[in-house]
Every structure is written in C-alpha cells, then in structure tokens.
Amino acid sequence: MQESRSPENPIIPEYCEGTDMIDEICSGEEIDTRIPSLGEPKIQSPLAQKGYSCFVSDNDRVLIRVSHSTLKNNINKKKDPLSFEFAGPRNRIYFDPTKLRCAIVTCGGLCPGINDVIRAIVLSLYYGYGVTSIFGIRYGLKGFMPEYGLPMVDLTPQAVERIHEYGGTILGSSRGHQPVEAIVDALERMNVGILFMIGGDGTFRAGAKICEEIRKRRLKISLVAIPKTIDNDIYLVQKTFGFDTAVEMACQAIRCAHTEAVGAPNCIGLVKVMGRYSGFIAAAATNALREVNFCLIPESDFDLEGENGLLKALEERLRQRKHAVVVIAEGAGQKYVRTEKMEKDPSGNLKLGDIGLLMRDRFKEYFKKIGMEASVKYIDPSYIVRSVPANVDDRLYCANLGQNAVHAAMAGKTGMMVSLWNGRYVHVPILSAIKRRKQVNLNGRFWLSVLESTGQSPLKNT
C-alpha cells in the first residue's frame, strides 16, 4: 500500500471552541499520521465532470498543535510540524463508481446521529459519485456471519430519505467479537470494495484487525471508519457526533433536578449521565448551565466520608443555600460499587456498578444519621439520551463526517477514520486513534471552568 506524502501546504486554523481538549490530547507526543492507500488514483472524479472545483490534495495538511512556540521549535529543528491529512474530495479517485459495491455497518451502543451518517454516506455515494450498489449490514458484525442468516439492506436515496428524523440505527447494532477471517471472507463473497464502519473504540480495534487481514490477502478493499461514541472519548477526535445532543439532553435533566431542588427545603437534585471512563458529558453540561454545585467524573477521584468528603460538603451547601444539584457520570466513584468479581459485557467492557443509586441511598442515610431533614430527587436519563434523534448541530456534523468518509474511500484511502481537528475535517489512521482513550484533563482549562462554575473543593481528605 502507498502512503501519503509529507506536508507542503499546512493549514493553520483559527482558534475554535475545543482547542483546550486538543492541547490536552497531544501533550507533545509523536503521532503517526500516514494514511494507507490501495494504490494510485487514476480515474477522474465524477465531481470534476460535473464542474466542481473544490478539490484538495494529500499535501494539504492541518497542523496538530497550533501555537507559536510549537512552530518556532519545528523551524529551529528544520522539520515539518506534525499534521493530519486534510479531508475532502480528490480530483482523481481509485474506484470505478459503475462497478463498485459499498457496505455500511453500525456497531456498539446507540448514539444520536447514526442514521444521519448513514444517510449522508448513501446520498454522497449516489448523487456525488454515481455509485448505485450500496447496502447495509444488519446488527453490527454479526451481519457478516452466515450462521445468523441476517439479510442485507438495500440502501437507496429513497430508503434513507427520512431516517434522520429517527433515533437509533435503521441497520441495528450489536456488541461482541466476531472472527476477523470470517468477516473478510464475507466481504470477498459480497464483492465489497468499500466498507464504512460506524462505531467506537471497540469497533476501531476490530477495524484495524480487518484491515490487517485484508492486507495479508492482498485484497483491494477500503475500510473507512466514522467515530461514534456518546461519551466523546475517542482519541484524536475533537468531538464525536451525538455528543452535542447528549449534552443538550443532560442539560434538560439538570434543569428538572434544579427545579425540584429549589422547590423543597434541603432538597438535593441528583442526575446521573453517561460517561463510562470519561466525564465530558457531565463536565460540558455543568459548564453550559452553571446551576450544578458538584460535578463528579471518572477522572477525578473523590471521598464520600470525612471532613473534606462529598457528604460533608453537601451538608454545608444545604445549610447555606437549602438546595443542591449534583451531576455524576456513570463511571465516577466506582470504588464504592466495585465487587471482587466484575462481569463484562459482550464487547469486553467491565459492567459498572450503579453509582447513581448508591449516591441516592448514601445521601439519604447520611442526613438521617445526622438528624437533618433532607430529600433526594434522582434522575437517570441515560437511555433517553442514547435513543433520541440528533439535534441540528449534530445533524450538520454527521453530514460532513459521512460525506468526507465517502471522499476518502473513493480516493482509495483505507485503515483510517474521518475526524474533526482544530475546526477542520481530517484523516486519522485507525492505529493511531486506538492508542489510548481521550479523557478530561484535570489540569486543563475545560475542567478549570467546571471548578469555577461549581466552586467545589477537591473532595479529598488527603
């Protein structure tokens, strides 16, 4: 496989919301940004034939770190600054659209915007490139396995016309591992030229193995991924689709909790939001509303008991203001609900203990113990957040992700995901994206904003 050339025309973006997270992610490490290719693109793009001229080349780049000191250091060392390949349509493509078959598969948990991405891919392939053979794989990677007998879904513009109005995924999804060799066997049998995978970290790890098996067999199959995780925890992505919708829905729940809290004396509004390993939803919703008094996330350990613990701080808050709002991510405080034998889901993730219910009960027990009348209103909107249609911002984002995935795949690129970085759409190798998980930086401006909004202390006794 060929790899893209070194940068000649770096694109320096303006400062945009989220650059704090970008600085936190990189922390100076070297990242492999080379995108594998199936071969030299030799076919003139149908977009050029239609008179479009907004093409980019592999030499157009987006800088990973945008700061004067970074650029100056690279100039002094006489080396190109680290950058990603710019996404967008290429003047020449690798695949012949008249002979191409494309497949789309969605994996993992539900997330707002999946149908929007599917729709964008289908419409871009059909109207942009003239590809008419597009189908969906049912229920994730299970759909490739003959023993399940799952039929494929024919995806036409008419079939996807209104799917963006609904939550979930029209293709269905599933968790769990399937044999990589059997998946590639199925791709060969179906004569698939491009596979679009919509999923998160586990899906990407499967995608990397599929790419390796394709390479071993010397097949000309492109695999392009679109990052999907409601928790916003995929590495080297400024923001994942569905995150804005999740934060919006979380804010609605927090508003309700705040209304309940101020409606009764010594009332605590407790809201549990999604965030298995990363607390971006909880932190972003806290920053958006400024009505939260305690924001608890997996990255920041806290104590319940003790003079500096959460319960004592909550007591002081009630004595002063007569109400409180607590937001907790599902993965926070797991040391309080962890058992000796933790079960795993089909994807291999540890099944978390229900920290929300534990907190509700501990709050009640504590105030009863100290003889202080208090009530707790508990709200868990998790499955509602997962299943709703995407909001307008996420819909626009999903459309751009889907379209740029098509442009990359048609140009013969493979083993990559489409990402938003520094306000630009870029190509990121899957192998780089699965190096680690993105988490809230407790020393960054994003978390500092949470602390300035809530006024909460470290909630630690030592």
CATH 3.40.50.460 segments of the chain: 244-387
d(CA 95, CA 343): 45
Number of Cβ atoms within 10 Å of the Cβ of 323: 20
Q: Contact 61/84 with Cβ under 8 angstroms?
A: yes
Average pLDDT of the chain?
A: 90
* Segment holding 186, helix H or strand E: helix 180-189
- pLDDT category, 258, cuts 50, 70, 90? very high
Q: What is the mean pLDDT of residues 301-323?
A: 97
The pLDDT value recorded for residue 176 is 81
The pLDDT value recorded for residue 67 is 67
- pLDDT category, 17, cuts 50, 70, 90? very low
CA angle (194 as vertex; 192, 197 as ends), nearest 5? 110
B/e letters for 4-34, b = 16+ CB within 10 Å, e = fewer, are beebeebbeeeeeeebebbbbbeeeeebebb
Hey, what CATH topology would domain 2-240+390-433 get?
A: Rossmann fold (3.40.50)
Q: What is the mean pLDDT of residues 147-155?
A: 95
d(CA 195, CA 187): 8
| 326: three-class secondary structure by DSSP | strand
The tens digit of pLDDT for each residue in 67-123 reads 656 556 656 666 678 899 999 999 999 999 999 999 999 999 999 999 999 999 999
Burial class (CB in 10 A: 0-12, 13-18, 19+), 70: middle
Q: What is the mean pLDDT of residues 210-220?
A: 97
Quick check: 138 pLDDT over 80? yes
Strand duo 83-86 + 424-429: pairing: antiparallel
Which single residue is written with the structure tokens 């157009």? 60
Question: Catalytic site residue 80?
Answer: no
d(CA 322, CA 315): 9
CATH of domain 244-387: 3.40.50.460
**Rounded CA Rg of the chain:** 24
The pLDDT value recorded for residue 5 is 43
d(CA 3, CA 35): 6
Between 23-32, 158-167, 431-440, 449-458, the lowest mean confidence (pLDDT) is in 23-32
The pLDDT value recorded for residue 29 is 60
d(CA 52, CA 56): 12
Between 71-85, 214-228, 279-293, the lowest mean confidence (pLDDT) is in 71-85
Nearest to 104 by CA among 249, 1, 228: 228
- pLDDT category, 14, cuts 50, 70, 90? very low
Q: What is the mean pLDDT of residues 291-314?
A: 97
The tens digit of pLDDT for each residue in 326-356 reads 999 999 999 999 876 667 666 566 778 899 9
Selecting among 231, 233, 244, 394, the annotated active-site residue is 231
Quick check: 2 pLDDT over 60? no
CATH 3.40.50.450 segments of the chain: 2-240+390-433
The tens digit of pLDDT for each residue in 379-419 reads 999 888 888 999 999 999 999 999 999 999 999 999 999 99
The pLDDT value recorded for residue 15 is 32
Query: pTM higher than 0.95 for the full model?
Result: no
The tens digit of pLDDT for each residue in 179-201 reads 999 999 999 999 999 999 999 99
Quick check: 6 pLDDT over 50? no
* Segment holding 268, helix H or strand E: strand 267-273
Quick check: 20 pLDDT over 60? no
The pLDDT value recorded for residue 53 is 85
| 437: three-class secondary structure by DSSP | strand
